[in-house]
Chain A
Amino acid sequence: MASLGAYGSSDGDGHAVRQRIKIAGFIALGLALIIFFRLYTLQVKEYSRYQTLSLGNHIRLQALAPVRGLILDRHGTVLAQNTAVYTLQVIPEKISNMGAMLEEVGQVVALSDNEIKAFKRRVSRRPGFEKQLLKSRLTDEQAAKFAVNEYRFPGVTLEATLHRDYPRGELTAHFLGYVGRISERDQTRLDPAAYQGVTHTGKLGIERQYEQALLGKPGFEEVEIDAHGRTLRTINRERAIPGDNLSLTIDIELQQVAREALGSRRGAVVAMDPSTGEVLVMASSPSFDPNLFVDGIDQNTYSALRDLKDKPLLNRALYGRYAPGSTIKPLFGEAAVEVGINPNERVFCPGWYMLPDSTRQYRCWKKTGHGAVDLHAAIEQSCDVYFYELGKRLGITQMADVLTQFGLGRQSGVDLPDEPSGLVPTAEWKRSSRKEPWYPGEDLITAIGQGYLMTTPLQLARVAALLANRGQAIQPRLLLQREDALSGEARDQASMTEITNTALRVDPEGMERVIKAMTAVMSSPRGTARLSGQRSAYSIAGKTGTAQVVAIAQGEEYDESALREEFRDHALFIAFAPVDDPKIAIAVVVENGGSGAGVAAPIARQVMDRYFIKALKRA
């Protein structure tokens, strides 16, 4: 041991330790190489993956929602606008205890059960990082109160957002439709890129029809954020392009007159400029407040509206299907002249009509009969027996032909979504859909606008317009002009709707005779709507109609007062004025109104009066 020296040093030891130092050196080098290969893998092989992750970490795209276009009436009255409202928004991911948060926020700003329920529903359906609406339309006072307390609620923010608002509410609800929150179903049909940051979309009416034009184009903001989600700077920004403003053909003042004239009755009024097809009035009664739907209507209110017997949600002007009754008699009159039936030929009306091989009586509305009537008198007094005879002679094929010419049984092409086509029956139609032959008696009831024939108020208004035009076709439309919201420049109309105005195949002489008779309806002592035509400063051509809702059995009498209200006849009326230079064509339907002359015609007169008074004032 002594030879080892004080510090344990010996050559033998030295050799072993030196060996170990070498070995350790190599092991260290090996480990360093492992580290190197790891870093090489990260920085070279997987570089692009981590590069993407890094950018995704600190660069965030924020969508800037475009401002939706305004909707105005033809004289510039605002029908749909965007107003700033305060909303409470929540990022669910940032809330640790949702229940406690709702409780505490509720102490600052009252939250209704419905609001909480709707909020929870939205939260459960969407990813947690997405902002969700908690409360909309805070009052200024509520907003101020929350703003003071906002620091207490991380993840809950007070935001001023633009909110769609319909200042005329009920008056415009049906044709304008409304926007609503984008639903799951909407998401399947909407292009996500076009709706970046957009929360609402047009659900019905004009708002739906012109969604593309109103929407605008979302912008974006590329911002740099730090690990805590704070926005540090804006790297790039593209402004959102606001949606186009739309001017409609509707005259809201006239619409108001029509609504007031309809009062509490169920019905519809459609009026248009016959020379252009511009729809001036599209009123449906009863109505509802579209503003209820913008932020999601609660289930109870919605069910109540939907289940009301009067069906306020239904746009009767567009979707209501009614037998036109006598209002379409002028069309058959024109067709009769066209096929060569002598309009001066008289048919004797004893108050009923019978087919040669049948004992079934077809009644005229006038039990005592009209006596011998020609075409003029038959239209003027709306004699059913004359048209039974005409129906027998024309047959369903020729009748269907003229009805189709005048736009019945097919879409008018109006710029509103899901227009129904109504129904013009034919023998083939009956065979294929009902598996039954066409009976001769059905010619007769079709000739007085009953039976299978189904029309919409819009179609009837178009019939009035086509008569006013003496057969010049027009396509009804509600869009007057579309303009760029920033420059105010009008956009090219042709690109919006293809308008195909062609002439119908009509007999000019027949047309003039029919129009003369319609004028007599309003003004002759025997005219069915003489009471609505009297003391008029302008000439009117009109035709009343009364459509049966329930069949009256043979031998029974129609006693209006004895019938329950919902089984009473629908009252109809079509008209245009002035006769020689028509400016307005109109159709009125009042459900269970009883008589076209007594109920529908006065409504039309009120609307036309206001139209011409306004025209005079402007001139």
Chain B
Amino acid sequence: MFLGRSLNLDGSLLIALLALSGLGLVVIFSASGESWDVMARQGIRLAIAWAVLLAAAQIAPGTLRRFSPHLFAIGVAMLVAVLMFGTVAKGAQRWLDLGVIRFQPSELMKLAVPMMIAWLLTRNRLPPSFTVILLALSLTLIPSGLVVVQPDLGTGIMLAVSGLFVVFLAGIRWRHIFMMLAVVAAVAPYLWSQLNEYQRQRILTLFDPWADPMGTGYQTIQAQIAIGSAGVWGKGWLQGSQSHLEFIPERSTDFIFAVFAEEFGLIGVIMLLVLYLFIVGRCLVMAYHTRETYSRLMIGGLALTFFFYLFVNLGMVSGILPIVGVPLPLISYGGTSMLTLMAAFGLVMGLHARRRLMT
């Protein structure tokens, strides 16, 4: 692993990510109805994502930290720009058309928010004071709120959570945590009233998808049928009737886990969970062994955010969480989220590899 070391990479994490990307291609091929075209496009995206990972790993921790506020400010500015000049797609204003490429600033914020919060917190003594916590929360809620009004509730929540994870890791006092929970509980009814009708319906559907099996409950029911009918051994690769006969909506994107679970059964599901947990666990171990707090918070925050993505996606596909548009990390079809995630892992590796170099 000499080459790996010189490139600031982490061997076991690298292998796990490679395995996951490979598995992703295998599942995409099935979910797309055996389309080589889709496979090729996803392959190209993966290649780019890996290049981004390699590049991100070369960023020096000091540089990263220093430019955290700048990146955050640029990100917020772009989010504002999106709301003013953004391209509308699927009923939401998420894209910034830069002529050559279309860019989704909310993806940039997935990295910029934890960077910003880690930067803020490490400027002061830990555990953070109440004032600093309030400041951190405010800084988190600005981009998060801008994304929610696009409207993209899922990503907005993810941004907020990624900031909160960093605050949590920074050693925030438990009484502060409970205070925050109490505040959330207090404003929950107000938030509920602010939700769109379709968003409320999604949450209500969770309790009884069979109330409207052809309407709001359809996605949940069909995904559960796909998962449940697989049994222990699964129906076999390319053999999933629920996916191949198009009963599962969004089967190559948000609901791709249903396709995987249908074809590979409980055995496949266990293996996939183990692979994901290994990645998360490895990152947490790396955070643990890093000497310096900014890196520690960043690695730990990104690892937890990654896990949270996984949890929310599996939760919604298996019917224990409401349906929010969160893809299955590194497997769902689509480029932007993959680029962000690989960039994050690149940062993680780079921060960890040079843990001793900082003085």
Contacts and interface: CB of A to CB of B under 8 A. Distances in A.
Contacts of A28: 277, 280, 284, 304, 307, 311
A40 B230 CA distance: 11
B122 to A, nearest CB: 3
A12 B273 CA distance: 34
Contacts of A18: 288, 296
A49 interface: yes
A22 B303 CA distance: 13
A553 B302 CA distance: 116
Contact of B227 (A17, A42, A55, A228): A42
Interface string B290-320: 0111111100100010010001001100111
A224 B121 CA distance: 59
Interface string A28-66: 110110111011101110110111011101100000000
B214 to A, nearest CB: 10
Given A43-B227, A54-B226, A227-B245, A9 B292 contact: yes
A228 B249 CA distance: 12
Contacts of B124: 8
A35 B318 contact: yes
Nearest to A16: B171
Interface in A365-398: none
A31 B319 CA distance: 14
A50 B318 contact: no
A29 B225 contact: no
B277 A29 contact: yes
A52 to B, nearest CB: 8
Interface in B61-112: 61-62, 65
B169 interface: yes
Nearest to B281: A25
A13 B318 contact: no
A29 B121 CA distance: 26
Contacts of B304: 24, 28
A5 B61 CA distance: 14
B169 A47 contact: no
A227 B225 CA distance: 13
A39 B227 CA distance: 8
A42 B171 contact: no
B158 interface: no
B246 A54 contact: no
Nearest to A15: B171
Interface stretch (B8-16, B201-209, B263-271, B338-346): B263-271
A38 to B, nearest CB: 5
B238 to A, nearest CB: 15
Nearest to B249: A227
A207 B52 CA distance: 80
Contact of B293 (A17, A19, A31): A17
B358 A225 contact: no
Main secondary structure of the interface of A (DSSP, over half): helix
Given A58-B245, A227-B245, A24 B284 contact: yes
A58 B293 contact: no
B335 interface: no
Contacts of A7: 61-62, 65, 122, 292-295, 358
A570 to B, nearest CB: 65
Contacts of B230: 43
B311 A47 contact: no
Contacts of B358: 6-7, 9
A440 interface: no
Contacts of A560: none
Interface string B111-151: 00000000001111111000000000000000000000000
Contact of B168 (A24, A31, A39, A53): A24
Contacts of B307: 28, 31-32
A437 interface: no
Contacts of B319: 38
Contacts of B169: 17, 20-21, 24
Contacts of A50: 224-225, 227-229
A8 B293 contact: yes
Contact of A226 (B61, B170, B246, B284): B246
B245 A225 contact: yes
B266 A40 contact: yes
A4 interface: yes
Contacts of A508: none
Contacts of A55: 229
B247 A51 contact: no
Contacts of B281: 25
B293 A9 contact: yes
A14 interface: yes
A53 B294 CA distance: 51
Nearest to A225: B245
A17 B297 contact: yes
A55 B228 CA distance: 12
Contact of A34 (B222, B284, B300, B320): B320
Interface string B220-240: 001011111111100000000
Contacts of B359: 5-6
A232 interface: yes
A57 B294 CA distance: 52
Contacts of A44: 231-232, 266
Contact of A20 (B171, B224, B226, B228): B171
A46 B231 CA distance: 9
Counting chain B CB atoms within 10 Å of each CB, the highest count among A43, A224, A227 belongs to A43
Counting chain A CB atoms within 10 Å of each CB, the highest count among B61, B225, B277, B320 belongs to B225
A347 B121 CA distance: 139
Interface string B318-330: 1110000000000
Nearest to A8: B122
Interface string A150-189: 0000000000000000000000000000000000000000
Contacts of A9: 291-294, 358
Nearest to B315: A35
Closest 4 CB pairs of A and B: A50-B228, A8-B122, A54-B229, A16-B171
21 contacts: A9-B358, A13-B125, A13-B171, A17-B296, A17-B300, A18-B288, A20-B169, A20-B170, A21-B284, A28-B284, A35-B318, A44-B232, A49-B228, A51-B229, A51-B231, A53-B229, A54-B242, A58-B241, A224-B245, A226-B247, A227-B222
Interface of B: 61-62, 65, 121-127, 165, 168-171, 222, 224-232, 241-242, 245-247, 261, 265-266, 269-270, 273, 276-277, 280-281, 284, 287-288, 291-297, 300, 304, 307, 311, 314-315, 318-320, 358-359
Given A28-B284, A42-B227, 6 more contacts: A7-B294, A8-B126, A32-B276, A39-B266, A43-B269, A226-B246
